[in-house]
A and B are shown apart, each in its own frame.
Chain A
Amino acid sequence: MTSLTKPGDRKKARIDSLAEAGALSDEEGVSLWRSAWHRLRRDPVFLIGAVIIAAFVILAVIAPWIAPHDPAARLLIDQRTTQNPVPGPQPGFPLGADDAGRDMLSRLMVGARQTLIVGVLATLGGFAGGMVLGTIAGGIGGWADTIVMRIVDVMLSIPSLLMAFSLAAMFARPSQWTVILAIAIIQIPIFARLLRGSMMAQRHSDHVLAARALGVRPAPIVFRHMLPNSVGPVIVQGTLVLAVAIIDAAALSFLGLGNPDDTQPEWGQMLGRSQQYFNTHPEVAVYPAVCIIVVALGFTLMGESLREALDPKSRR
């Protein structure tokens, strides 16, 4: 094996320099991700956000079994009159029913599932697309960067909701998949730009220069050094964008571009149906709106505390 020091004649000075470097604990090293997680676990802001999201996720999973009624059954349709289109609260129906006489509480509970699926899938789609474009732009640089960034600029120059409307409207039959796809596409440039920016900063950092000097091939430099050090802010953005995605999905549904199948309730869609009763029965709009706001808040809290935990400057 290659030998740096001839074992026999190592000078005393060398042995001294072992102690000279100062003490080092015997414990296993702690990576930045682990130390961030360590701090997150003790951050009350993160915990509040996590509890909110966990509660809604659990609700989304078990809702069909615990919902008091079938969310698609028009149980109170008989109580609907022209003067009072929305049946109010009554025994067995604590929040009343919607304009089709379906139990409001059951619809909210079951709606959590659709809403979260749309938000999470749309964000994951945008994240994935953004990672690909951002890595191409920031990793290859030069002409690839110019082309990708011009495309991204064009996408960003169109107002995002307007873009989503046009995309959703392009499909002959709107479904929850058109909503997911539309929102994912409008999120791609956000992620791509962010990743590209932090990759560019990494490109000029000393440790990337050191890897180049070491003779590391270009691909490992991008994937082992630049990418892992760039995704932090993108992941944070992901949690924040999740909240926006849910609100965007609600907006699309509200405008009738969402899932038309109202046997599968979704908060945005419920909000959309409630618009004709705003003046007389605002509570029909308030219930789903509050749910959307609380979930969005949960994701935002998690994102903000994640941002702080990942910031190297705030580390002790």
Chain B
Amino acid sequence: MTAQPTADPALDRSARTAPLLAVRDLTVTFGRGRREFRAVDGVSFDVAPGQTVGLVGESGCGKSVTSLAIMGLLPARGNTIGGSATFAGEELLTMSGNELRDRRGRDLAMIFQDPLSSLNPVVPLGTQVAEVIERHKRVSRGEAREQARAMLDKVGIPDPTRRLKEYPHQLSGGMRQRALIAMALACEPRLLIADEPTTALDVTIQAQILALLKELVQDSETALVMITHDLGVVAGLCDEVNVLYAGRIVERAGRHDLFARPRHPYTGGLLASIPRLHEERGRLTPVPGSVSDNIPWEQGCAFAPRCSSAIDVCVQQTPELVPDPGHGPDRLLRCHNPLPAPPTAAGSGQPAEEETP
């Protein structure tokens, strides 16, 4: 039922370099039998070196589970992972624990939402960063410490020599997140997954961290997967955006395209519901209901009960993720009745029913 078209349009982008991370039909199921819950349901995407791909969605859309599954960080029991995730051609999902541990930190790194709980509270910061370097780069302790100092300096932590000796609780939230980024980047990973890295931070600190991430991606050709609920963060940072809803990708587009011409009613609804700083006050247009109103994907479109453009077919047939005609191969859409697209250079918007081109 989640049959992905074998020739994924995302693969045909000959102009772009080969993907570093290729996720195909990733499925994560928690529990068994009657209490089974599919958190991620056939998610596919690619990330190329130097590219920033965004996974956007609300709580419960499966964006964090996706990243944990790729990193092999889901608990060993109580879940089933299907599909594939290859990193530079190697399958990550079937890799042994040791191999994966070796990969994590050296090739793949992750930063989390809560920097305090991601750091060991009783080990000085310098030791934590140096340990990562020592382990993956196989250098001496003194050398690792020197590199750790340089790394803290690079992510903008003032007076790094002193900070090396301090404990996580002595740092502010922004500095902790910087330290975590320093740890993640210590071994120059080729892929960085950032799971809501700025959600716990204040806006002025968020601006600092986002600027830092942007700089790192540009300078080092690191591939970045950015997981967030904040469309503002996506707008400034991501090259390509995947909008997730109830475990499936409902829309994929380049960031300019997505914000200028949202096609999925959920994306459109999200954009219409956020108050803008630069707009006069007026009534917002909320998305009605909440995720608890969803219907299962097997019965139709999960978003249909909340959707203002829902038509009969939406609760009868599951929409597939297909290229959006007239918008090039990079734009995918999972909708029976998409929002009308304003005329574009690429071609005029198609009327409704267009699920099979």
Contacts and interface: CB of A to CB of B under 8 A. Distances in A.
B283 A23 contact: no
Contacts, number: 19
B275 interface: no
Nearest to B35: A316
Contacts of A29: none
Interface in B170-208: none
A153 to B, nearest CB: 28
A22 B283 contact: no
Interface string B295-321: 000000000011000000000000000
B98 interface: no
A19 B283 CA distance: 17
A277 to B, nearest CB: 49
B293 A23 contact: yes
B342 interface: no
Contacts of A16: 288
A13 B283 contact: yes
A22 B289 CA distance: 3
Contacts of A13: 283
A22 B306 CA distance: 8
Interface on chain A toward B: helix, strand, loop, or mixed SS? helix
A22 B292 CA distance: 8
Nearest to B306: A22
A20 B290 CA distance: 9
A20 B289 contact: yes
B232 interface: no
Interface in A245-277: none
B283 A20 contact: no
A21 interface: yes
Contacts of B306: 22
A36 B290 CA distance: 26
What size tier do the contact residues of chain B reach?
A: under 10
A20 B293 contact: no
A16 B306 CA distance: 13
What size tier do the contact residues of chain A reach?
A: under 10
A23 B286 contact: no
Contacts of B305: 23
Contacts of A23: 289, 292-293, 305
A20 B288 CA distance: 4
Interface string B262-303: 000000000000000000000100101110110000000000
Most A CB atoms within 10 A — which of B283, B288, B305?
A: B288
A314 to B, nearest CB: 13
A22 B286 contact: no
Contacts of B288: 16, 19-22
A19 B290 CA distance: 11
Contacts of A20: 286, 288-289
A263 B293 CA distance: 67
Nearest to B290: A22
19 contacts: A13-B283, A16-B288, A19-B288, A19-B289, A20-B286, A20-B288, A20-B289, A21-B288, A21-B289, A22-B288, A22-B289, A22-B290, A22-B292, A22-B293, A22-B306, A23-B289, A23-B292, A23-B293, A23-B305
Given A16-B288, A23-B305, 5 more contacts: A19-B289, A20-B286, A22-B290, A22-B293, A23-B289
Smallest CB-CB A-B distances: 4 pairs: A22-B289, A20-B288, A22-B290, A22-B293
